[in-house]
C-alpha cells in the first residue's frame, strides 16, 4: 500500500483524517498514485491536477523522501521507500496568504 | 408561521441563517466548507431543500456542493467544466489574445421548475448547465461562440459570467451578463445569443456606445414583468422596458451611480434597491455612510434608507450578488458587506438590523422564503 498525506482541505473533502493508503500497481509513479487516489475519492478530482489538462495545479507540489518531485515526469518511477510504504507521498499546498 | 433561510457565501466559507417570519431571531450554521471561497449558493425554487453551492480555492480549484436537506448536509457533485471544442482566445487586459481558461463558477441559477437543472456562470465567461442534479456539467457553447467573443475583455475581477436570469414566462429566454463584455439574451434556449447593450454608455471605451465591452455589474428582473430589466452598470443605473433591446438611465438623484447590486421588491415591480459606491477607483460608500437607496417609481427618484445602518466611518463594499429579497407579505430585503455584516430589513428597506456583524467578506446573499 502507498501512504499519502493530503493538505487539510483535501482531507476534509475526502472525508478522511490523517494519512491515507491507496493500492497502486507497478510501476509506482505520481500519475499512478493520483489515478488511484481519484478513483477511491472521486471528490478529489480536479483539486490536485486540472481535469482538462491533467497538469498539477500551480499551488500544489509533491514531495517524497525529503525531495521535491513536482517537476519530475508524472510517469517517472518513485523512490523505493514510497513503493514499500516506508515513506509517505506528500501532497502539499503552497504556503500563501489570505 | 412561514420563515426565511438566508444563504451567505463568503471569502472563507458558507453560512446558512434561518428565522421565522418576524425575522428578528436567527439561527446561524457554518462555516460550511471553511477556508474555501464560496462565491454563490442558491436554492431550487422547485424544491427549497435542494441547494447548490460554488466552492473554490486558488490552490485546489472548483468544487460544487449540493444539499438535499436545506443546507444541513452537503455532498460534492461533479466539478468538470470543460469548454466545448477548442476554445479560441478572448482579449486580455493589454489587448493581446489570451486563451480561454476555466477558473471558477461565480453564479448558480437553479431552474424555476426542475431541481436537477441548474445553470452555472463561469470565469472565463461561459454558461454551463446540469440536468442531472450536478452529476455532469455541459457547456451551452452558443454564447462563448458568439462572433464578438474574441473581443471580450475581463473586468478587474476577471472575465466572469456573473448574472443569469431565467424568464418565467418563456423557458427559452435567458439573460446573462459578463464583466466586461456586457449583457446578452437568448430566445432559443441558448443556441443563439444577441448582445443587448443598446443605450449603455461606458466612458472607458473608445466607442462609449459600442455593441459590447460594457462592464455590467448586475441585473434584476421581477417575475411579474419579465420584459422589464434593471441594471447596475459600472457607472449608471439603467432600465429596459423591452427585454433589453434598449436601455435608459434611471440614476436620477443618487449620490453616486457607481455600485454593484440592484434588486427588486418582491411585490412591487417598480420598487428597486441599489447601494451607491463612491467610485470605481475607491469602492467605498460615499461620505463613509452605508445607504440603501430605494426608488418606488422604477428609478430616477431615489430615497436614502439609512435607519440602522452605519452613518459614519463605514468603508465596506456590497458586491454584485450580495443583495436579495424574501417574498413574505412585508417584503424583506437583505444585503452583505465586504466587512462581514449581513443586514436585514423586515419592512421593505425602511429600517435595518444586522443578522451577523463579523463574518469573512461577504460575496453573495440569497434568500429563500419557506412555507
pLDDT for the residue numbered B1: 55
pLDDT for the residue numbered B262: 98
Contacts A60 to B, Cβ<8 Å: 59-60
Contact indicator for B365, B354 with CB cutoff of 8 Å: no
Instruction: Please report where in the chains the cell 431543500 appears, as a residue.
Output: B49
Q: Which of A13, A57, A94 has the CB atom closest to B63's CB atom?
A: A13
Q: Any alpha helices (H) in B159-235, and if so which ranges?
A: none
In chain A, whose CA is at the least distance from the CA of B101?
Answer: A52
Nearest C-alpha neighbor of B9 from the set B27, B31, B28 = B31
Range of the domain at A31: 2-93
User: Quick one: average pLDDT of B167-189?
Assistant: 98
The answer on pLDDT for B171 being more than 70 is yes
Query: How far is the alpha carbon of B54 from chain A, nearest alpha carbon, in Å?
Result: 14
The x, y and z cell numbers of residue B130, run together, are 446540469
3-state secondary structure at position B26: coil
Name the maximum alpha-carbon separation found in chain A: 40
Nearest C-alpha neighbor of B59 from the set A27, A74, A8 = A8
Residue pairs between chains A and B whose CB atoms are closer than 8 Å: 45
User: Quick one: average pLDDT of B35-46?
Assistant: 98
CA distance B174 to B160: 17
Asked if A52 lies within 8 A of B82 by C-beta distance, the reply is: yes
pLDDT for the residue numbered A94: 87
CA distance B81 to B78: 9
The answer on pLDDT for B332 being more than 90 is yes
- CA B163 to centroid of chain Cα atoms: 5
Q: Is residue A17 part of a domain?
A: yes
Contacts of A73 by beta carbon, 8 Å cutoff, 6+ apart: none
Q: Is residue A71 part of a domain?
A: yes
In chain B, whose CA is at the least distance from the CA of A51?
Answer: B80
Number of domains chain A contains: 1
Q: Is residue A72 part of a domain?
A: yes
Query: How far is the alpha carbon of A44 from chain B, nearest alpha carbon, in Å?
Result: 9
Is B161 in the A-facing interface, judged by CB distances under 8 Å?
Answer: no
Contacts B82 to A, Cβ<8 Å: 51-52
Is A98 in the B-facing interface, judged by CB distances under 8 Å?
Answer: yes
Q: Is residue A87 part of a domain?
A: yes
In chain B, what are the domains? 3-370 (2.130.10.10)
Each residue's pLDDT tens digit, B2-20: 899 999 999 999 999 999 9
Each residue's pLDDT tens digit, A1-15: 999 999 999 999 999
Contacts B63 to A, Cβ<8 Å: 13, 43, 46-47
In chain A, whose CA is at the least distance from the CA of B80?
Answer: A51
Q: Is residue A98 part of a domain?
A: no
Contacts of B210 by beta carbon, 8 Å cutoff, 6+ apart: B197, B202
Per the prediction, chain B carries an average pLDDT of: 97
Domain containing residue A18: CATH number: 3.10.20.30
Dihedral (Cα; B29, B353, B270, B274), 10-degree rounding: -90
Each residue's pLDDT tens digit, B96-144: 999 999 999 999 999 999 999 999 999 999 999 999 999 999 999 999 9
Q: Which of A43, A59, A60 has the CB atom closest to B76's CB atom?
A: A43
Contacts of B270 by beta carbon, 8 Å cutoff, 6+ apart: B295, B296, B297, B298
- Length reported for chain A: 98
CA of A17: how far to CAs of A11, B53, B151, in Å? 6, 24, 47
Interface of B with A in 49-78 (CB under 8 A): 57-63, 76
Contact indicator for B314, B278 with CB cutoff of 8 Å: no
Amino acid at each position: 500500500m502507498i501512504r499519502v498525506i493530503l493538505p487539510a482541505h483535501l482531507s476534509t473533502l475526502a472525508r478522511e483524517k490523517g494519512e491515507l493508503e491507496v493500492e497502486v500497481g507497478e510501476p509506482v509513479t505520481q500519475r499512478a498514485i493520483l489515478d488511484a487516489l481519484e478513483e477511491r475519492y472521486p471528490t478529489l478530482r480536479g483539486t490536485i491536477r486540472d481535469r482538462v489538462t491533467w497538469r498539477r495545479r500551480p499551488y500544489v507540489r509533491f514531495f517524497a523522501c525529503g525531495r521535491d518531485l513536482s517537476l519530475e515526469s508524472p510517469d517517472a518511477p518513485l523512490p523505493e521507500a514510497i513503493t514499500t510504504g516506508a515513506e509517505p507521498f506528500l501532497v502539499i499546498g503552497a504556503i500563501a496568504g489570505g | 408561521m412561514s420563515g426565511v433561510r438566508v444563504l451567505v457565501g463568503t471569502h472563507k466559507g458558507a453560512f446558512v441563517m434561518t428565522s421565522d417570519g418576524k425575522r428578528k431571531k436567527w439561527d446561524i450554521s457554518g462555516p460550511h466548507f471553511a477556508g474555501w471561497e464560496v462565491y454563490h449558493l442558491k436554492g431550487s425554487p422547485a424544491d427549497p431543500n435542494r441547494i447548490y453551492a460554488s466552492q473554490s480555492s486558488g490552490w485546489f480549484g472548483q468544487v460544487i456542493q449540493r444539499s438535499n436537506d436545506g443546507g444541513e448536509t452537503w455532498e460534492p457533485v461533479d466539478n468538470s467544466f470543460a469548454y466545448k471544442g477548442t476554445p479560441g482566445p478572448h482579449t486580455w487586459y493589454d489587448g493581446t489574445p489570451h486563451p480561454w481558461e476555466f477558473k471558477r463558477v461565480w453564479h448558480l441559477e437553479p431552474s424555476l421548475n426542475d431541481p436537477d437543472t441548474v445553470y452555472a456562470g463561469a470565469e472565463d465567461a461561459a454558461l454551463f448547465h446540469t440536468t442531472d442534479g450536478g452529476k455532469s456539467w455541459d457547456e451551452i457553447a452558443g454564447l462563448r461562440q458568439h462572433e464578438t467573443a474574441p473581443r471580450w475583455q475581463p473586468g478587474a475581477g476577471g472575465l466572469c459570467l456573473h448574472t443569469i436570469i431565467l424568464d418565467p414566462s418563456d423557458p427559452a429566454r435567458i439573460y446573462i451578463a459578463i464583466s466586461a463584455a456586457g449583457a446578452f439574451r437568448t430566445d432559443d434556449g441558448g443556441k443563439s445569443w444577441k448582445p443587448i447593450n443598446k443605450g449603455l454608455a461606458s466612458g472607458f471605451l473608445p466607442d462609449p456606445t459600442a455593441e459590447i465591452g460594457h462592464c455590467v455589474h448586475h441585473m434584476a428582473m421581477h417575475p411579474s414583468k419579465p420584459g422589464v430589466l434593471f441594471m447596475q452598470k459600472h457607472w449608471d443605473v439603467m432600465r429596459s422596458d423591452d427585454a433589453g433591446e434598449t436601455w435608459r438611465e434611471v440614476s436620477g438623484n443618487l449620490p453616486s451611480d457607481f455600485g454593484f447590486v440592484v434588486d427588486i421588491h418582491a411585490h412591487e415591480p417598480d420598487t428597486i434597491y441599489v447601494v451607491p459606491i463612491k467610485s470605481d477607483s475607491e469602492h467605498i460608500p460615499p461620505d463613509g455612510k452605508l445607504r440603501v437607496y430605494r426608488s418606488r417609481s422604477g428609478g430616477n427618484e431615489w430615497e436614502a434608507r439609512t435607519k440602522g445602518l452605519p452613518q459614519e466611518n463605514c468603508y465596506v463594499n456590497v458586491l454584485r450578488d450580495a443583495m436579495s429579497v424574501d417574498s413574505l407579505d412585508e417584503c424583506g430585503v437583505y444585503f452583505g458587506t465586504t466587512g462581514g455584516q449581513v443586514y436585514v430589513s423586515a419592512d421593505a428597506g425602511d429600517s435595518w438590523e444586522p443578522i451577523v456583524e463579523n463574518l469573512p467578506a461577504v460575496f453573495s446573499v440569497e434568500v429563500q422564503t419557506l412555507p
